Structure 1
Amino acid sequence: MTNLERQLSQYAAYHLDRNNIMTHFVGIPLIVFSILCLTARAGVEISGFPMTLAMLLMVLSSIYYLTLDKLFGALMLLLLVLAYPFAVKIAALSMWSWLGASIGIFVVGWVFQFVGHYFEKKKPAFVDDLIGLAIGPLFVLAEFVFLLGFRKPLHQRILKEAESKRAAMDMKVQTAS
């Protein structure tokens, strides 16, 4: 099993309900975008080029995603690069407008997340493993690619392992109560 399969199946074990996955298609992009908005305002100028914290986060997360999977990493980088100019526009607003918009988007994203976990009847993955915060965006991207009918063998392996992990989690909860 590859590291990608391990990470996505661990995350997927908390996300087997279709309603939960659908809410994540909205919630996670909103959260990621809000983080870009919040961090696009902080930065320094290096040789006349503005370098923001958002850019640094984009580079570091993309490197991580590329180490897990070249295709998913490249797609994630492309999506982040496409979202960045919009985040910069929000970051250029007045202090209170920028904070209000960024925090508002963040909160709405998390509302979608928690509604999804209500359907799932499971806590969010990051509660047990903080890497879930980084894997969430990749999970949503992978689920979209799978929904389009691509990479079916990978999807089947991840789903099989996720169901096995979920059964083990459920068994652990039953024995604890």
Structure 2
Amino acid sequence: MRTLTEHLSQYAAYHRDTRNVATHVVGIPLIVLAIAALLSRPAWPVFSGALSVTPAAILFALATMFYLKLDLPLGFGMGIVSAASAWFGHWLAMQTTTLWLATGIGLFVTGWAFQLVGHLRFEHRKPAFVDDVIGLLIGPLFILVELLSAWGLRRDLHVAIHAADSATR
């Protein structure tokens, strides 16, 4: 299994233009929320109906385990993001079917529009997941690392990611 720095460096190689990264800071969270919403139906009751399990809950739990295996503090941060996203998805899934679908699909399309603008207009390079599907999981983590670095946290990781990317140019 690749290390955290290897995953993020490979992803960074597809995201060198700061304008592309900026479109991803908007687009990726929208896509994550869309997935949380659209996969929050159906809900299967467990523990005599005290809780319910959804495809979104399963997906976000598995993704969080992946993130925790890569890095405990970042995995914990992604767990918070996952829980908040799953809560939003659950809330939206409890609304009317029309609102649930319109919002979920709208978020998904808008998020991907931001992604495509970033790659086609600014980066002029295909998205990372085209070459490695794990890029779909690394994208949200990359955004978290970018935001943490902008706030003065995990700068060592940010430097290592971009140093490794520069070495591959």
TM-score category (smaller protein): over 0.9
Match of 1:21 in 2: 21
CA distance in 2, matches of 1:55, 1:62: 10
CA distance in 2, matches of 1:23, 1:92: 30
CA distance in 1, matches of 2:165, 2:32: 24
Q: What is the SS of the residue equivalent to 1:42?
A: coil
Mapped contact 2:68–2:75 kept (Cα < 8 A): yes
Which of 86, 109, 128 is matched with 2:88 structurally? Answer: 86
TM-score (norm 2): 0.93
Mapped contact 2:23–2:117 kept (Cα < 8 A): yes
Q: What is the SS of the residue equivalent to 2:62?
A: helix
CA distance in 2, matches of 1:87, 1:75: 18
CA distance in 1, matches of 2:16, 2:24: 12
Mapped contact 2:38–2:101 kept (Cα < 8 A): yes
Match of 1:171 in 2: none
CA distance in 2, matches of 1:84, 1:54: 7
Mapped contact 2:42–2:55 kept (Cα < 8 A): yes
* Unpaired segments ≥5 residues, structure 2: none
What pairs up with 1:1-177 in 2 under 5 angstroms? 3-47=3-47, 48=49, 49-117=51-119, 118-165=121-168, 167=169
TM-score (norm 1): 0.89
Higher gyration radius (CA): 1
Q: What is the SS of the residue equivalent to 2:79?
A: helix
What per-residue deviation string (whole Å, max 9, x for no partner) do you get for residues 14-42 of structure 1? 00111111111110000000000001112
CA distance in 2, matches of 1:59, 1:95: 25
Identity %: 44
CA distance in 2, matches of 1:87, 1:154: 31
CA RMSD of aligned residues (A): 1.2
* Unpaired segments ≥5 residues, structure 1: 168-177
CA distance in 2, matches of 1:152, 1:46: 42
Greater alpha carbon shift after TM alignment, 109-118 vs 42-51: 42-51
For 1:74, the aligned partner's letter is F
Aligned residues: 165
What per-residue deviation string (whole Å, max 9, x for no partner) do you get for residues 95-136 of structure 1? 232111101100000001111112111110011111101110
**Residue 81 of structure 1: how far off its partner (Å):** 1.3
Q: What is the SS of the residue equivalent to 1:144?
A: helix
Q: What is the SS of the residue equivalent to 1:45?
A: strand
